[in-house]
Amino acid sequence: MATKNTILPILTLFSIFLPLATSIDFNYPAVFNFGDSNSDTGELTVGLGFFLDPPNGQHYFKTSTGRFCDGRLIIDFLMDEMDLPFLNAYLDSVGLPNFRKGCNFAAAGSTIRPATPTSVSPFSFGVQVAQFLRFKARVLELLPEVCAGKKLSKYLPEKDYFEKGLYMFDVGQNDLAGAFYSKSLDQILASIPAILVEFETGIQKLYDQGARNFWIHNTGPLGCLPQNVAKFGTDPSQLDELGCVSQHNQASKLFNLQLHALCRKFQGQFSDANVTYVDIFTIKYNLIANYSRYGFEQPIMACCGYGGPPLNYDSRVSCGQTKILNGTSVTAKGCPDSTEYVIWDGIHYTEAANQYVSSQILTGKYSDPPFSDKMPFLLNLKF
């Protein structure tokens, strides 16, 4: 099997030119991230007080870190590329968390719209923005004490980091995926504008607070996740040529179309800001469609799960858990080599897949505006 490093470009031009704003060179003092499990570095597990069972975290960290993955997430690779440390979860209070270079508010299961009593996560996008506002206010309150000699400077961002920092977003997947359990496709498609009004409100609040650099991921192909194939793809007529649930991907595409239009609106409205839209859907769908070309062997089947082929996914037993099913004790175990799999646990991607996606993000071809090849900033990929 080809190694992942053989598929990665050696150099990438990593600057962005916006027609209505200044250029970005990814030389940021800090990153503030908002989202769901795609970029959660431990927020939900500490926020709700539970442990994420091994083999989560086995590949890179050698222990569970609260990431729903065998190793690193896309945001981890991007942080590394910016010469910044991995982000601490906002609520993680143990182990001397350091927020000097930013903070991560993303929590698994989070939605853009407000949480309901049945939501997996209470930390919806609006709550995450509110947490950031409190975080910023508290930092600004403490900074005079730093100047007075207290040893907080190495843990807190400088005041101007809030303006110069990068604000990253990867959220919306759960609004769509969760809706399919109780709504028709037409109802879901009709709800997208209201979801994005909520997102726009949060972005406006951050802009009003001085945020000027926005990096916004669209949502991936939901229909290709084993969780959705197992539940909604039992009728082969509901599947596309790759074995993905067509309706879920249709919802993702319309969401992304409207999100892209909103980002264009931001680009015109925030003339002193940088707003970059990143097409994660196309990168991930291309990976699933051409998995063998990139060194993978399983495009949809979960690495960590229970049930065996074709999906190795059972919603009753999450990755790493042992439960009694029909009187028998069963365990959702990890596969021997997760680098052969695109999907980790039926819902999230493996570190190897996240690495591939990150390498494609860094080509600049999947962004609006695309990274300009006329900029002098040259970057060596580190992974």
Contact criterion met (CB below 8 Å) for 327 and 337 = no
Length of the chain: 383
| Residue 348 annotated to the active site | yes
Backbone angles phi, psi at 348, to 5 degrees: -120, 165
| Residue 76 annotated to the active site | no
| Residue 119 annotated to the active site | no
Task: Find the DSSP H helices in the chain.
Answer: 43-48, 74-81, 125-147, 161-164, 173-179, 185-208, 226-232, 246-269, 280-289, 351-361
With CA atoms as reference, report the closest residue to 74 among 168, 11, 5, 165. 168
Catalytic hit among 345, 358, 359, 367: 345
The span from the CA of 128 to the CA of 103, in Å, is 11
Contact criterion met (CB below 8 Å) for 37 and 44 = yes
- Amino acid at site 285: Y
Cis amide prior to 19 (ω within 30 degrees) = no
Catalytic hit among 110, 348, 359, 367: 348
- Residue 138, both tokens: 């508290």
Catalytic hit among 15, 37, 110, 359: 37
Contact criterion met (CB below 8 Å) for 251 and 188 = yes
With CA atoms as reference, report the closest residue to 289 among 300, 302, 304. 300
Backbone angles phi, psi at 342, to 5 degrees: -80, -40
With CA atoms as reference, report the closest residue to 287 among 347, 361, 230, 216. 361
Which residues belong to the active site?
37, 345, 348
